[in-house]
Chains A and B, each alone.
Chain A
Amino acid sequence: MKKSLFDQGYLDEQFCQVEDLQDEASPNFVEEVVTLFLKDSGRLMSNIEQALEKYPRDFNRWDAYMQQLKGSCCSIGASRMKNECMSFRDSCGQGNVEGCMRAFQKVKREHAVLRQKLESYFQLLRQAGATGAATRSIK
């Protein structure tokens, strides 16, 4: 499954880096990080959502918030989501409200999809027993 996640571009190499950090001292590191990411990015997205509503055409503000979200995506290698973040920022740069709104919807969608996929992934890992073994076999 992981392979498909990579192939389809949901995740990139950064995710592997994070996985490499997992060790005996922190056996659930990856899952913890992902959980943290999903939660925090949810928060950042709602900030953006509010800003879109409360501060119309405040492209600077929107961009700043999105920059934060994009940074967060980079942390676990959420590649597709990151791309949508970038297109949002492009729209901001162009002063294109419509573009921003559309891009934001995409960001939300990617976030939802990623969440779902990652959750399944971890479930699989758990089912497979040892995380290490599962990872190797899935790979």
Chain B
Amino acid sequence: MDAATAFPYGLRVLVVDDDPTWLKILEKMLRKCSYEVTTCGLARVALDILRERKNKFDIVISDVNMPDMDGFKLLEHIGLEMDLPVIMMSIDGETSRVMKGVQHGACDYLLKPVRMKELRNIWQHVYRKKMHEVKEIEGHDSCDDLQILRNGFEGLDDKSLFMRSDSDTMRKRKDFVNAVNQIGFDKVGPKKILDLMNVPGLTRENVASHLQKYRLYLSRLQKQNEERILGAARQDFSHKGTSENLNLRSSFQEQPSNIPNGYPHASQNIQTQANMQDSQLEDTKSTVPLPLPDKKEVYMEGDGRDFSDVKPSLMDCIKSTSLALTCTVDSISVQLSDSGTTSADGDLKFSSVDGLSSIKNCCFDQINSQGPLRPSQEPSIIGCTELASLPDDQPGYPYPLQGVSFDNIPLSSFDFSHYNDATMILSGLQNNWYDDDLEFSSETMDYPLIDGRLFA
């Protein structure tokens, strides 16, 4: 990188700090470093700015203690949504805090009062990222990527060096998740994702780092959601339809063809469902316990949607319902189509989205007979809806939380009442959800085997 030798004048920095005195001082210091500075006193505003002009910044510096939003949360958001390097600052240099910063993805953690020389060095974080990208590409088979990157770098001046070619962050993110889901969480790798996404200029490094953050994010969310899930789990059965806004996109392993793309983090739910085992399920082909994955997270998809908006209700429901859902894939075809289908009881609805097509391969035909799954608008639990419509003895577990992009699919009436009788083990599903825990009974697809005969 020729540009590497030149000092990054004009590095575009966004500074976020609720203290106006600090903000003024930092701004001045950064200006002295010949950086281009934008200041912001509120974390939320900072996020808006970044979302709006994501490509206009190279690095973000933020204080940890802010009244309107925790600095760590901001850090996470930025890492996930914009994948920009973030530096944290605080007068508190306690190791645990610093550790927390690192865990949340901070590139660096500066102690206040910050010195000029520390600020002068922040550009290295930006460069480091770029360097990694180049290295990744070099070590990579594809010469094309390297070519793109090299070409990209050569013609650019310092500023452009830091810019991302793709301006459509949301779309990219969506593509990313789609790709991950399609590939299968356990098989996923930056290269595969990159290929699938097919975004010019996107490097493997971008994807790799994003993937990592995604995983971290998901695991953190999962922990948060667990409690809620546990709480709600009890009532799920009796509850007919809890409307929840579930924008989930969980990554899980799936075989491209049969596996639903979007599994809501309901994988956890599946676990709870174990309680509702129905003896009939013994008929089913395989039963795979759905262990509560530690990694299934809910990835909130949607523009500027708060990632923490994951509604565990879905999970709760799912959890409460029997996890042992065995579905014979071939017998059940989930009609996940955008046309929307509503289950007979209309409680569970599939959110059919982009990735749903794969689900169609799933054997949820029987389920279809129950009624259309209605995706989108209605609060639908991604994948689990149809259960409500399934006759008692059916382990209908249309878990295809396919809804890869469940953006607007609220998780609603997740009526698992019917589950009482049905033990559905989404063997496949489950396995799909866990990166490392495959108890799948292989077969066709890593998909829940829903015994067709279980469905009326």
Using a CB–CB distance below 8 Å, which chain A residues touch chain B? 14, 17-18, 20-21, 23, 25-26, 29, 32-33, 36-37, 40, 64, 67-68, 70-72, 74-77
Asked whether B25 is an interface residue with its Cβ less than 8 Å from the other chain, the reply is yes
Q: Is B20 in contact with A40, judged by CB distance below 8 angstroms?
A: yes
Please name all residues of chain A whose beta carbon is closer than 8 Å to the beta carbon of B25 when the two chains form the complex.
18, 21, 33, 75
In the complex, the answer to whether B19 meets A40 with C-beta atoms within 8 Å is: yes
* B34: interface (CB < 8 Å): no
A75 in contact with B65 (CB, 8 Å): no
A75 lies within 8 A of B22 (CB): yes
Contact between chains at A36 and B113 (CB < 8 Å): no
- CB distance A21 to B28 under 8 Å? yes
Contacts of A17 on B, CB cut-off 8 Å?
Answer: 113, 115-116
Contact A32 B24 (CB under 8 A): yes
Chain A CB within 8 A of B112 CB: yes
B interface size (C-beta, 8 A) = 20
Render B376-400 as a binary contact track against A, CB cut-off 8 A, 1 for contact.
0000000000000000000000000
**Which residues of B are interface residues toward A (Cβ below 8 A)?**
18-22, 24-25, 28-29, 31-32, 63, 65, 67, 91-92, 112-113, 115-116
Q: How far is the CB of B21 from chain A (nearest CB, A)?
A: 4
Task: Kindly provide the distance from the CB of B161 to the nearest chain A CB, expressed in whole angstroms.
Answer: 26
The 8 closest A-B pairs by CB, nearest first: A75-B21, A37-B21, A21-B28, A14-B113, A75-B22, A71-B91, A36-B21, A74-B91
CB distance from B17 to the nearest CB of A (A): 9
> For residue A76, which residue of chain B has the nearest CB?
B21
Known: A36-B20, A71-B22. 18 other contacts (CB 8 A): A17-B113, A20-B116, A21-B25, A21-B28, A21-B29, A26-B28, A33-B25, A36-B24, A40-B19, A40-B20, A64-B65, A67-B65, A68-B65, A71-B63, A71-B91, A71-B112, A74-B91, A75-B113
Chain B residues closer than 8 Å to A14, beta-carbon distance? 113
Q: Which chain A positions have C-beta within 8 A of B112?
A: 71, 74-75
Which residue of chain A is the closest to B63 with respect to CB atoms? A71
B19 pairs with A72, CB closer than 8 A: yes
Min CB–CB distance B191 → chain A (angstroms): 44
Taking CB atoms, residues of chain A closer than 8 Å to B63 are: 71
Contacts of B65 in A (CB 8 A): 64, 67-68, 71
Nearest-Cβ distance from residue A77 to partner chain B, whole angstroms:
7
